Amino acid sequence: MSGPLPSLNGLQMFEAAARHLSFTRAAAELNVTQTAVSHQIRRLEEQLGVRLFVRLNRKLELTREAQDYIPAIRTAFEDLRLATDRLRRFRPDDLLTVSTTMSLAAKWLVPRLGGFQEANPGIEVRISTSMRLVDFRHEEIDVAIRFGHGDWSGLRADWLMAEDIFPVCSPALLAGPRPLAKPEDLVHHTLLHVDTRRDEWQLWLTAAGVPDALGARPSLTFDQRLMAVQAAMDGLGVALGYQRMVETDLAAGRLVAPFATVQISERPAGYYIVAPKETADMPKIARFRDWLMRSVAP
């Protein structure tokens, strides 16, 4: 069982005196008297039960025990200095924690964050992803991007954007032996579902004039839209993609939209920027909200 730690003041003066090999210079650095340094070193030696310095005429030398001890002490004080600098540099007003889904973060928000950081270098952004709604009262979240109708009690909700929804798949799927030229051809392919939105395929099939029973066929189901879209890129089937989440992959040719003329939109539902009413106008939240809204403006 380890014993109590020695005095922090004593360790600080020991570290300074060991660096300078001088009580006088250590006293000047720490803005105390030489007597105070000498007293603290003597007390530290008593606590440790070892001598730390050999006192010669106008000269100090570290004992063998002190030479072994000082590297750990220096490392500890350096860690304290770094931790203190981080604490002072990143005050709560400088840290903005944003909650959204993993899919929206990875495919839409994160690739755009460089613009916000460039315009607001003093704000550190932390992204937190979750499928569930944020409880602002019990979680350290400043602002969230939520999908819905904007009617959340006690929250300020600012409209951000709507989403068009349409099937996407790998280009290799189109070149394969099974046809995929019209919506009815989906009967030959695996539909990729997202567990939290099991009705999406039925809605799209109805809008496309295809019997919605097709949506009840055996399929693959994922708990994240990001995984369903990735499975589509890997050629495992056809997923329903949200325009904002798949636009980069469509432009890069990793995905194609085989029925581009058949889309459904969930308006008036859409993405909202959400924050508690009492904190929604904090400068860091207001800056992020304004930047987001400008980023989607036509």
**pLDDT tens per residue across span 228-265:** 999 999 999 999 988 888 988 999 999 999 986 666 66
Q: Flag whether pLDDT at 215 surpasses 80.
A: no
| 172 and 219 fall within a common domain | yes
Alpha carbons 258 and 12: distance in angstroms, whole number: 70
| 62 and 104 fall within a common domain | no
Confidence at residue 176, expressed as pLDDT on a 0 to 100 scale:
85
pTM of the model: 0.61
| 118 and 248 fall within a common domain | no
| 172 and 258 fall within a common domain | yes
Q: Flag whether pLDDT at 13 surpasses 70.
A: yes
- Whether 3 is covered by a domain: the verdict is no
Average pLDDT over residues 48-60: 86
Q: Flag whether pLDDT at 90 surpasses 60.
A: no
- Whether 101 is covered by a domain: the verdict is yes
| 148 and 125 fall within a common domain | yes
Contact 41, 26 (CB under 8 A): no
Tell which of 36, 71, 89 closes a domain. Answer: 89
| 64 and 147 fall within a common domain | no
| 104 and 55 fall within a common domain | no
| 157 and 274 fall within a common domain | yes
CATH number of the domain enclosing 228: 3.40.190.10
Task: For residue 216, give both structure tokens.
Answer: 């009840």
Tell which of 41, 74, 89 closes a domain. Answer: 89
| 177 and 257 fall within a common domain | yes
Confidence at residue 60, expressed as pLDDT on a 0 to 100 scale:
87
| 171 and 258 fall within a common domain | yes
- Whether 109 is covered by a domain: the verdict is yes
Alpha carbons 14 and 52: distance in angstroms, whole number: 8
Please give the share of the chain, as a percent, with pLDDT higher than 90. 47
Task: Give kind and range of the element (H or E) at residue 278.
Answer: none
- Of 48-62, 176-190, 197-211, 258-272, the range with the lowest mean pLDDT is 258-272
Average pLDDT over residues 94-114: 90
Average pLDDT over residues 37-53: 91
- Of 82-96, 141-155, 211-225, 237-251, the range with the lowest mean pLDDT is 82-96
Burial-class residue 197 by CB neighbours within 10 Å (0-12, 13-18, 19+). middle
Sequence-distant (≥ 6) Cβ neighbours of residue 272 within 8 angstroms: 145, 146, 147, 148, 150, 157, 158, 159, 160
Compute the chain's Rg from CA coordinates: 31
> pLDDT tens digits for 138-185?
888 999 999 888 889 899 999 998 878 899 999 999 888 888 988 888
Confidence at residue 58, expressed as pLDDT on a 0 to 100 scale:
75
Tell which of 69, 89, 109 closes a domain. Answer: 89
| 257 and 182 fall within a common domain | yes
Confidence at residue 82, expressed as pLDDT on a 0 to 100 scale:
79
Average pLDDT over residues 63-70: 92
DSSP bridge partners of 125: 96
Backbone angles phi, psi at 13, to 5 degrees: -70, -35
Looking only at the bridges linking them, the beta strands covering 59-62 and 53-56 are antiparallel
- Whether 79 is covered by a domain: the verdict is yes
CATH number of the domain enclosing 26: 1.10.10.10
Give residue 28's domain range.
8-89
- Whether 31 is covered by a domain: the verdict is yes
**What total of structural domains would you count in the chain?**
3
Average pLDDT score, the chain: 86
**Amino acid at site 283:** P
Question: Which DSSP category does 266 fall into?
Answer: -
**Amino acid at site 177:** P
- Whether 78 is covered by a domain: the verdict is yes
| 213 and 256 fall within a common domain | yes
- Whether 1 is covered by a domain: the verdict is no
